[in-house]
Structure 1
Amino acid sequence: MPVTSVDSDAEALTMTLIADFPVTPERVWAAFADPRQLERFWGPPGWPATFTSFAFEAGGRARYEMRSAGGEVARGSWRFVAIDAPRGFEVIDSFVDEDGEAIPGMPSMRMTFAFEATAEGTRMTNVTFFDSLEALEQLIAMGAVEGSTMAMNQLDAVLQGLREFAHGKGTQLEILDDQHVRITRLIDGPRELVWRAHVEPALMRQWMLGPDGWRMSVSEVDVSVGGHYRIAWEPEAGTEGEGFGFDGETLLVDEPRRIVQTEHMTGTDWPSTTNDLSLYEEDGATLVTLLIEYPDATTRDAVLSTGMVDGMEQSFERMERVVLA
């Protein structure tokens, strides 16, 4: 992971994040100077960022919003104080409302970003300066340390490019904390078709099957917000096993980029999970990212022990072979 430390200093009223990247300062600078690259990592998992304006010049402003799986929106604004390409820049970061006005009771922070060449690549030092101890403690209580760490640890994929970062690695699992895991898979195909493969029953029945010898017996899907779905599988003749299925509700849709749904194993008292699926296309390939929120670590471990990730890899291989061929 790129982030090596995040430290707060109550006396200096600062929070300092340090991360190391195996690329030049110019490449790291480019990721921050381009809003389309920046929004791929600025929001932590589950809260992806969208920059709605970006005037990258001294005195200019940028506005962004982050939307959770449940539809909550957090908005922010940067006022660029100083820019020294490619060595760093300085902003005033504020919490704002829909009109871009600062929210009363929420702190504004001065942030500096410095990019220094090292023998291995680049060290980024991000220092946030607070006006008071109360503001520092408020941000830490809101999860600033955890959120900024998870956000910056997403920058590797942006800096290297999708194919270099993920091609040939198959389905990858990351355990983020007791309640969250992230599953990624690079699909060699366009985002529009990968999206359709995830939401259209006729296509789902061709690839979303896990190991060979199973068929999708139920595929009722409503991907509108508030709509419900039900999918189920059963073994074909000669295959051992008992049928099973899932049901849930669609919480958020941003076609063809993101869909958030609950997932519950039909006919059981197992608690539901929240599945946040996002698709990003680059150079004709699509990175599928599934962020799953479990109620607790026990449920997380029980689900992962079923061989879910191996089954997903077999399904993704089938998607490339059957749907995208």
Structure 2
Amino acid sequence: MENKTVAMEFLDYLRYEKGSSENTLSSYKRDLNLFFSEVPKNFQSIEDEEVIEYVDKLSKTVKRNTVLRKIASIRAFYKFCYINKYITDNPTESLKNLKREFKLPEVLKLSEIKDIIDAIPNTPEGVRDKIIIKILVATGARISEVLTLDIKDVENQDYEFIRVLGKGSKYRLIPIYSQLEEEIKAYIENDRKILVLERKEKESENKNKKKGHELEYKLFLGTRRENFWKRLKKYAKNAKIEKNVYPHIFRHSVATMLINNGADIRIVQEILGHVNISTTEIYTHVGKRELKEIYNKVKIGDEE
């Protein structure tokens, strides 16, 4: 679905259902046109980092009240898209933190991440979710990239790297620390096998090729982004974390931890797979050993 088509549908909604004035409609239209010209991607593939970068750039050139109005326009548009199920993840959620101060969204401290992991039960499903969170933190990958991993994406890399399929159908290798390597192996050999048996019992009378592929190849069984998001909220609540915890917060947290531990911003961009026209030129080739040394600084492990 094209940006222009959805934008027109949104404006029609404001005109005919909300009764907005023509001046208001004109403002929304201008704001959306500017947004899509500055972030030239399909509305469904735009991520919160790109929205934040756009607002940050905007705040340096126009007055504060103008920025706040444009934020309201973008948020209203994406709320409309979310309600109408054109998107499953709203990239403007982080803008709630930008209404008063233009800064990056809240991040988790390493201790808070450990508290969340400790709040997860040691059931096969719980072990699976712990591994998912640890991979999110160890790699900075998107939740969609982690949940679509096949076993071969770690097995073929000798468990030292994870191969993720990112935006633009581009693969990238991301190193993981040795303790997580062992935990993934143990999960595959033990907890995952239990989950496979449970799934086979449930699907014994209703099998298809897709489910067969999942049982045989998928690293993480029985979880989707929506379901994981709900469980993560519960884990965070049990850990008494008052921050708004959602899968993408781990990605923000990883970037912050890497930079605080001395990683060059260009390395962070390559690790996270941020590919856009304005930053491609400053990307540099990063050797695998250098990446692994950086990640060893932010690994999650049991403290001695």
The structure with the largest helix share of the pair is 2
**What is the TM-score normalised by the length of structure 1?**
0.30
**What is the TM-score normalised by the length of structure 2?**
0.31
Higher relative CO (Cα under 8 Å, sequence separation at least 6) belongs to 2
The structure with the largest strand share of the pair is 1
